Structure 1
Amino acid sequence: MNKLMKAVSFVMAASLVLAGCVGGNANKAGNVGSNEANPETVDYFKLPEPVEMSVIKSVGPGLKLKSGETIEDNEYTNYVFNKTNIKTKVLWDASSTDFDQKMQLAIANNEIPDAMIVDEKTFRAMAAADQLEDLTAVYKRYASPQIKDFYKSTEDKALEKATYDGKLMAIPSVAIQADAPSILWLRQDWLDKVNLKAPKTIDELKQVLHAFIEKDPDGNGQADTIGLTGNSFQLATEGGGIHDFKGIFNAFHSYPMIWIKDENGEVVYGSTTFGMKQALSAIHEMYAEGLIDKEFALRKNPDDLVLNGKAGAFFGPWWVPWALIDSLKHNPKANWKPFMIEDAKGQYNIASVPVSNFFLVVRKGYAHPEAAVVYSNMRVQAERTPDEQAIKLDPGHGLWPLLMTVDYADAATRKHDLLLDALAGKVKKEEMDGEMQLVYEQELRDRKNPRKNPDDWAAPAAYLLGAGILKLPMNVTDPVYSAMTKTMESRWANLQKMETETFYKIVLGDEPINAFDQFVKDWKEQGGDKIVEEVKEELKK
């Protein structure tokens, strides 16, 4: 696995420390999201009497157990019981590679645990099959103010996503929206060398890329630098991808691979819109001009171009500085800065990340559905505001009976503001959590010796620079659907293959831009039109 892709995996895991298509109608979660007064005092974190709650476990290859511990009985499950009065029982466990298949078989046979975490497709299928307990009432009564506050940061869209036929049927995760914008990362030292300002538009970006290729920005006297990087597997990614062209697509109001509503309020697949054709044409022109890495469609490790100082421009998410540590070790003068590319009207366009990807569901008929809510309260508190015992535990460890990310949707920008306040003396260091105290100390050291220690530079740069870009006013398009319909189960893989192949051929010049029109026609005829209707029906539920 190449180094930047390893960084992707690292930061996705780190999002459990940082943190953890809106299905359904807009007002579905209005009641469950309210903060009604409970009719009697409720302990949000501990049930009055011990209860048993069965679960199933995915066991990763690197999972370590201490002497005497088991998957069912360990320091994490003991912490859960001591804090909540919930005794978790593991019905079965499986390796991470076999877990999903075994879980789907269990669901098909209706042999499901009391509580489990599933993806959106599985959640909606179980809800449709009447396998899930209605959590509306227990959420209202038992959800802690803290967890409600996290959901409020999504404008209750997470709760809407977990609502089916007007009922709250799951406790949803919360995705960090900071991953939504595709940021242009440029070497400021190269910009200074070629005497150009940071680009704001596609045309200005092209001017910068010409200079990066033609004006020897690395100063070695050789024509060995390239323009923009790309990758060989996707022209645009749904989340926080590196080395794609999502930032260019968004500048044309196009949102590849995402279900959205068009200007008329109709559900459409983002890859079939007119803006998509315009963006593909623009990217092809850039490639034809030599402004994009000529070998990007074949290159296995585009990150090598960055690490070896041959590229000074690529698109990526806010947390890219963590992925640039090795680049700075090779060249401490590499001064990476983030920028956004605007559309023809001067707006920055993004598609939000699906607000929830995972759902804690409860088996229909389970006698204590409130246990799932109390467990969620406890685990979120243990991760966000840990007590002395929780501090000794690893918040992201796989031995937690149920593990799912719940945090503020805007966690990255909140930490950006917190760090700025600490540096300005408005917040004392000891008032911050352990993570931000460390970042604060790293920033102080980096200010004394800029980029001398890349490890000290990375985290502060991510929060101050990357997350700082997120403060810009942005035109946000929300995905409306991110699950699977019945026809998608049999047709989607072929439709996606056709999409990827056609779009790469257009960009590389192997097909004319009008091949996009034929793609849209074929997409509709080969199942797309039927899928659109199915998505519309799903959104009514």
Structure 2
Amino acid sequence: MAKRKKLLSVLLAAGLLAVSGCGTGGEEARGGNSEAVSTWKMATSDQYEADAEPGETDDRAFQRFENPVDIHIGMAVSATDTSLKENGETVEDNFFIRYLREKFNINVIVDWYTADGESYNQKVSTLIASNSLPDALVTSERNYMLMAAKDGQLADLGDVFNQYASRQVLDIVNAAGDVATDKASWQGTFYSLPGLDVAASGTCVYFIRQDWLDELNLEVPKTVADLENAARAFMEAGKCDYAIEGPANGIRTYCTFLASSPGVCMLDAVYQAHNAFPGYFIKGEDGKVYYGSTTPEFKQALELLHRWYEEGILNPEIGVQTDAMKNINAGKTGIYMCSWWGLGYGNFSAFKNDPTANWQSYPLYTDEGEWNIHVGNLGNGYTLVNKNASEEVKKAVIIMNNIHVRDEAMLVNQTKIPVGYFPLRNNMAAADESEYTHNVLLSVARGETTVDDYEFKGTAYKHLKDDINALSTVFNNLDWAKDDYATIYDMNVDDNNFARMYSLMITDRPAATLKPDHEISSVSYSVTPAAEKYWSNLIAMEDAFVLQVITGKKDISEFDRFISDWKAQGGEEILKDMQDIADGRE
């Protein structure tokens, strides 16, 4: 085989409802941009010498500072992860922080940390409103980047990025095209490092306890009706009090055009199986743009979710609970939804608590047998640096990002704590990384190729070599490869690479091996002038209405009133902006 190369109130309203991802949720990528097109141009990798090998230093992208560089940061951390305590580590002093200090003389000082999600967003918005950002932090909300940039609080990272970004990082970001630089910029200035996620992070599938299905002699559900029948069977058999998990407080039930990566326990798969795409601005067959949250299909999906809530199928604490993963990890529910990272990375504790929990991942089809997905964007994070940060701090932030991208696969083999504790971790990956890796690993597991058939130095598929090597340590056997159907019973839960391998070979299997029948894109993933003015209030109104309908606090008969209010309170103006974009008049 040939080698493959390859303000405060405004802020609070703007970003309270976050979307969780393998690190964080995402925002803009494709479509028009109301800000000026970036005048800054990114460097290309060919002007620099090859990067140092993982774990090594060099004179540019991985240099060790002569004198210690202190970087003050804020962090979002998991409210339920216990790995730090179990391994004698802390948020402020752990394996990753020591690695940066000892190897590169970068001294990370965690000024504060909060639980991820709503608490973190409130903290960031308050800091921006009070002009008191730390040296650096990562946010999933582009609105926060824009607010801070417009208020003159952010450093221009363009020159320092071009000078110190690794060849690997430059290749990944350049491969994404102008959308990467545009999403990270405002009025031509490169104000943030853009997170670039794998495309599969925008695809919502459902996860189910396959061992429960097998025990009850049930077929794998294909449609919403099938899923409901399985849920009822789980409950009737005493497997769980309720069967389908929903999102936690502060997490909406579906993605939007500004946050298009499904978070854990969101319900996008249910909406899409109803041919509904709430939160997206979609160009219809007649050429007219409509808003996906104002359609009859969306109304029908809400009616179903309300019935599930009333009948006890859906978690009665949807939108109220503080931790959506608690009962999943405890084995007390059997169905939830997310994208490719939601099993393995997303529910690692579930396997530690019950090594027989055979969670599997499947698409949810319409009654007509079609698989719909909404197309996400390319980005899922923004690394912000305070304008008052020194040049050494700005350089260190760029180098820390290089280190994370290059060394992550190596580092996870040296510690038991999740890589999410790496300071300022902002994912950068090739769009097809998870699907490409799934298929390479499958080929190696089947004996069709070997590690020697692939080129690794400087590749955008930054984990590939380590992933191939992990096959022999994570899996007890490779018999599953024949049918591409791995299970928990084939795997070693205690291996450091277990979570990643589960996500790649089980959770990502639908995205890697099946082609959706319909891929729905939003006309734009950007904040238009009207959206900048009206969106925060509109989405707050919509979030409240949706949750109230699902939980019975409002009747679905008020849906038409919701539509009229949405249009009257600025929705019509946003539709005009989106129509201009769709018609090429932006």
Q: Taking structure 2 as the reference length, what is the TM-score of the superposition?
A: 0.64
Question: Which residue of structure 2 lines up, in the alignment, with residue 464 of structure 1?
Answer: 505
Q: Secondary structure at the match of 2:301?
A: helix
Question: Which residue of structure 2 lines up, in the alignment, with residue 338 of structure 1?
Answer: 361
The reply to whether residue 497 of structure 1 matches residue 521 of structure 2 is no
Question: Which residue of structure 2 lines up, in the alignment, with residue 3 of structure 1?
Answer: none
Question: Which residue of structure 1 lines up, in the alignment, with residue 205 of structure 2?
Answer: 183
C-alpha distance in 1 between matches for 2:352 and 2:89: 38
C-alpha distance in 2 between matches for 1:94 and 1:298: 29
Q: Secondary structure at the match of 1:373?
A: helix
Kept in 2: contact 1:133–1:366 (CA 8 A) = no
Q: Taking structure 1 as the reference length, what is the TM-score of the superposition?
A: 0.69
C-alpha distance in 2 between matches for 1:78 and 1:309: 39
Distance 1:360 1:44, change over 3 A: farther
- 1:507-531 superposed Cα distances (whole Å, 9 cap, x missing partner): xxx724x422111222344565567
Kept in 1: contact 2:271–2:298 (CA 8 A) = yes
The reply to whether residue 58 of structure 1 matches residue 81 of structure 2 is no
Pair member with larger Rg: 1
Question: Which residue of structure 1 lines up, in the alignment, with residue 398 of structure 2?
Answer: 373
Aligned residue among 155, 173, 178 for 1:151: 173
- 1:99-124 superposed Cα distances (whole Å, 9 cap, x missing partner): 87786676556566665545522211
Distance 1:232 1:384, change over 3 A: closer
Deviation at 1:340?
1.2
What does 1:118-129 correspond to in 2, within 5 Å? 118=139, 119-129=141-151
Q: Secondary structure at the match of 1:277?
A: helix
Deviation at 1:501?
0.7
What does 1:474-485 correspond to in 2, within 5 Å? 474=516, 475-478=519-522, 480-481=525-526, 485=532
2:563 alignment partner AA: V
- 1:293-335 superposed Cα distances (whole Å, 9 cap, x missing partner): 4464358799898789897655444345443875897694x75
Distance 1:305 1:101, change over 3 A: closer
C-alpha distance in 1 between matches for 2:421 and 2:328: 34
Deviation at 1:421?
2.9
Question: RMSD over aligned Cα, in angstroms?
Answer: 5.6
Aligned residue among 61, 67, 73 for 1:45: 61
C-alpha distance in 2 between matches for 1:169 and 1:339: 39
Aligned residue among 187, 199, 206 for 2:225: 206
What does 1:220-235 correspond to in 2, within 5 Å? 229-231=244-246
Distance 1:302 1:357, change over 3 A: closer
1:443 alignment partner AA: F
Aligned residue among 186, 192, 213 for 1:164: 186
- 1:314-365 superposed Cα distances (whole Å, 9 cap, x missing partner): 5444345443875897694x75543212345834323426613222335279
1:417 alignment partner AA: N
- 1:453-499 superposed Cα distances (whole Å, 9 cap, x missing partner): 87549745432221111122231525614799465566754542233
The reply to whether residue 35 of structure 1 matches residue 77 of structure 2 is no
C-alpha distance in 1 between matches for 2:425 and 2:208: 36
Question: Which residue of structure 1 lines up, in the alignment, with residue 563 of structure 2?
Answer: 520
Question: Which residue of structure 1 lines up, in the alignment, with residue 438 of structure 2?
Answer: 416
Kept in 2: contact 1:32–1:168 (CA 8 A) = no
- 1:184-230 superposed Cα distances (whole Å, 9 cap, x missing partner): 33455676788775454x3xx425644774xx789x9x698899624
C-alpha distance in 2 between matches for 1:303 and 1:394: 18
Distance 1:272 1:394, change over 3 A: same
Deviation at 1:181?
2.2
Kept in 1: contact 2:206–2:337 (CA 8 A) = yes
C-alpha distance in 1 between matches for 2:132 and 2:576: 32
More moved, 275-284 vs 307-316: 307-316
Q: Secondary structure at the match of 2:74?
A: strand
What does 1:125-524 correspond to in 2, within 5 Å? 125-152=147-174, 154-155=176-177, 157-186=179-208, 198-200=220-222, 202=223, 205-207=224-226, 209-210=228-229, 213=232, 229-231=244-246, 236-238=253-255, 239-241=261-263, 243-256=265-278, 258-263=279-284, 270-281=292-303, 283=305, 287=308, 293-294=312-313, 296-298=315-317, 314-322=336-344, 323=347, 326=350, 332=356, 336-343=359-366, 344=368, 346-352=370-376, 355-361=379-385, 363=387, 367=391, 372-384=397-409, 396=419, 400=423, 402-425=424-447, 426-428=449-451, 437-445=469-477, 451-452=488-489, 456=493, 459=499, 460-471=501-512, 472-474=514-516, 475-478=519-522, 480-481=525-526, 485=532, 493-505=540-552, 511-512=555-556, 514-524=557-567
More moved, 26-35 vs 346-355: 26-35
Kept in 2: contact 1:19–1:407 (CA 8 A) = no
Distance 1:48 1:40, change over 3 A: farther
Kept in 2: contact 1:20–1:407 (CA 8 A) = no
Deviation at 1:171?
1.3
The reply to whether residue 93 of structure 1 matches residue 111 of structure 2 is yes
2:281 alignment partner AA: I
User: Number of residues paired by the alignment?
Assistant: 502
C-alpha distance in 2 between matches for 1:535 and 1:54: 44
Distance 1:267 1:168, change over 3 A: farther
C-alpha distance in 2 between matches for 1:307 and 1:105: 32
Percent identity for Structure 1 against Structure 2: 19
Question: Can you give the 5+ residue segments of structure 1 that lack an aligned partner in the other structure?
Answer: 1-11
Distance 1:536 1:58, change over 3 A: farther
Distance 1:132 1:329, change over 3 A: closer
C-alpha distance in 1 between matches for 2:329 and 2:402: 42
Deviation at 1:278?
3.8
Distance 1:443 1:122, change over 3 A: same
C-alpha distance in 2 between matches for 1:106 and 1:197: 51
2:383 alignment partner AA: F
2:381 alignment partner AA: N
Kept in 1: contact 2:199–2:431 (CA 8 A) = yes
Kept in 1: contact 2:534–2:569 (CA 8 A) = no
C-alpha distance in 2 between matches for 1:20 and 1:440: 34
Distance 1:441 1:491, change over 3 A: same
Q: Secondary structure at the match of 1:496?
A: helix
